[in-house]
Amino acid sequence: MSHDAPAAAPSIDWSRTLKDAVITGLIATAILGPFIGLVTVQDMEHRLILQTRWPLFLALLAILVVGRLLLQIFVWGRPAKPKRAPLALPPSVERIAAPFFIGLLFVFPISVLFALGPQGSIKWIDNYGIQILIYIMLGWGLNIVVGLAGLLDLGYVAFYAVGAYSYALLAKTFGLSFWVLLPLAGILASFWGIILGFPVLRLRGDYLAIVTLAFGEIIRLILINWVDFTSGYAGISGIPRPTLFGIPFNASDNGFAATFGLEFSPIHRTIFLYYLILALALLTAFVTTKLRRLPIGRAWEALREDEIACRSLGINTTTTKLTAFATGAMFAGFAGSFFAARQGFISPESFTFMESANILAIVVLGGMGSLWGVVIAAVALVGGFELMREMDFLKLIFGTDFDPTQYRTLLFGAAMVGIMLWKPRGLISTREPTAFLKERKAVSGSLVTEGHG
């Protein structure tokens, strides 16, 4: 199966292309000029005055014209070319990629600490490292439900919330330790996964998505309205922090710093939390990889491909779906209790539909079912958001009251549309075949190319 048919030399009609660009520019000027270029503001005496924002206007105009020109030249202008083989790493690279990546994650906080010192490194380890790892873990967890079993779940954040509140409430009420509550939170979340699973067993696609979305909202509304139990909007604060097998991270005499003869610094806890979430995320990936090689994982993937065929092959689709929901929810529960322990404070604000959408976007953009895809998408989206906070130089272009973080959603949407146009099945769309059980013939992923369908 070769996709490398020689592409016909692109023949571009330059005059048409340029004319098109000019027309684009004129239309954009007509529309953007008044709407973007001019703005009314109230002055000190509450009078409306007209201000101009020509730099912003020009920037947008340039994006439109150049963008359309590039599209003309490189996309629309080309004859339809045969589908290109999906992004696939050579096997030798693939074999070392995972150990290399994991090694990188392990040395990351230490090297940042050495490079920037305790003060400078906290931002990198916390805002970037921990934050991204939480989303990678959530992405990997949701990947089991959406990517492997093909069940579109828009309410995944509900299980994250269950995990977080389970830890917060049980830790505060009964004083149980993080290490006891972590598995408990996972169990409770997977229990809720099954509760959600039952009513949606017969639903697929859009209908399933709607019901799971509603489920996520129900959980959030319960958290808001059951004030006696959850403190409602006020949230729960003073959640006990995790300890290193009983050694707390504080300045006390039996704290971590004192025990190991170090000078107390908040970075110790941050680094500890980093390794904690790293371990949890790696556990998720490990379990997913293992499960894919077991009958249950195979059944999930077969379910995604064709539910009717599954049943006629003797697969119980009911238990298959429920285990997918339960397993996915369990990892969200772990992540949730980590989140609560890390923040020390939780409120329903953290568990809105937007969170579910972000996690789902990570899974879909990454390429459904692909662990690497989730990593890339999580780094790009979460890391990208964090980076935008720091893009002060944009103020030079767009004016001093320009706040890049307000454009997060816009960029997010643009990235989504872009990736879906460019790679409709996500960044990494190859499905790695699973060798499993006593299989004699090793099936190499590189031999396999993805067709339509």
Partner 1 sequence: MTEPLLAVRGVETYYGNIIALKGVDMDVHEGEIVTLIGANGAGKSTLMMTIFGSPRARTGRITYAGVDITKMPTHEIARLRIAQSPEGRRIFPRMTVMENLQMGAAIDDFAHVDEDLDKVFALFPRLKERIAQRGGTLSGGEQQMLAIARALMSRPKMLLLDEPSLGLAPLVVKGIFDAIRELNRTEGLTVFLVEQNAFHALKLAHRGYVMVNGVVTMSGTGRELLASPEVRAAYLEGGHH
**437 belongs to the binding site for partner 1 (CB under 8 A):** yes
Residue 289 binds partner 1, judged by CB under 8 A:
no
Using rule CB under 8 A, residue 433 touches partner 1: yes
Q: List the one residue from 246, 314, 406, 410 that touches partner 1 (CB under 8 A).
A: 314
- 439 near partner 1 (CB under 8 A): yes
Give φ, ψ of 317 to 5 degrees.
-70, -25
Residue 201 in contact with partner 1, rule: CB under 8 A: no
Nearest to 170 by CA among 180, 158, 155: 180
d(CA 234, CA 223): 10
Q: Which of 18, 31, 93, 309 contacts partner 1 by CB under 8 A?
A: 309
Q: How far apart are CA 19 and CA 30, in angstroms?
A: 17
- Examine residue 87 and tell whether it contacts partner 1 (CB under 8 A): no
Q: Does the footprint of partner 1 cover residue 311 (CB under 8 A)?
A: yes
Which is nearest to 250 in space by CA: 269, 237, 232? 269
Tell me the closest approach of the beta carbon of residue 148 to partner 1, in angstroms: 11
Question: Which tokens in the block code for residue 152?
Answer: 């579109």
| From candidates 298, 336, 337, 355, binder to partner 1 by CB under 8 A | 298
Q: List the one residue out of 130, 216, 226, 231 whose CA is nearest residue 172.
A: 231
Cα–Cα distance between 55 and 37 in angstroms, integer?
Answer: 8
Phi (first) and psi of residue 177, to 5 degrees: -85, 160
Phi-psi sector, 264: left (phi>0), alpha (psi -120 to 50), beta: beta
User: How do 38-42 and 48-52 pair as beta strands?
Assistant: antiparallel
Nearer to partner 1, 254 or 318 (CB): 318
Residue nearer to partner 1 on the CB measure, 301 or 386: 301
Q: How far apart are CA 57 and CA 311, in angstroms?
A: 58
Task: Give the SS3 label for residue 86.
Answer: coil
**Residues between 1 and 40 that touch partner 1 (CB under 8 A):** 1
**From the CA atom positions of the chain, what is the Rg in Å?**
25
Q: Give the interface segment with partner 1, choosing from 61-69, 182-190, 260-268, 445-453 (CB under 8 A).
A: 445-453
Contact flag: residue 424 with partner 1 (CB under 8 A)? no
Q: Which of 49-57, 156-164, 294-302, 406-414 is the region at the interface with partner 1 (rule: CB under 8 A)?
A: 294-302
> Exactly one of 46, 47, 202, 452 binds partner 1 (CB under 8 A); which one?
452
* Smallest separation, CB 435 to partner 1 (Å): 9
Provide DSSP, 31-50: HHIIIIIEEEEE-TTS-EEE
* Residue 92 found at the interface with partner 1 (CB under 8 A): no
- The piece of 3-11, 165-173, 209-217, 426-434 that touches partner 1 (CB under 8 A) is 426-434
Cβ count near 336 (within 10 Å): 32
The correct pick among 305, 349, 392, 403 for binding partner 1 (CB under 8 A) is: 305
Stretch that binds partner 1, among 102-110, 211-219, 303-311, 400-408 (CB under 8 A): 303-311
Terminal-to-terminal C-alpha distance of the chain: 16
Taking CB under 8 A as the criterion, the residue among 80, 308, 406, 410 binding partner 1 is 308
The single residue among 289, 317, 343, 352 that binds partner 1, judged by CB under 8 A, is: 317
Are the CB atoms for 239 and 340 separated by under 8 Å?
A: yes
Q: How far apart are CA 431 and CA 453, in angstroms?
A: 13
The distance of closest approach from Cβ of residue 416 to partner 1 in the complex, given in angstroms and rounded to an integer, is 23
Give residues in contact with partner 1 (CB under 8 A).
1, 295, 298-299, 301-302, 305-306, 308-317, 431, 433-434, 436-441, 443-444, 447-453
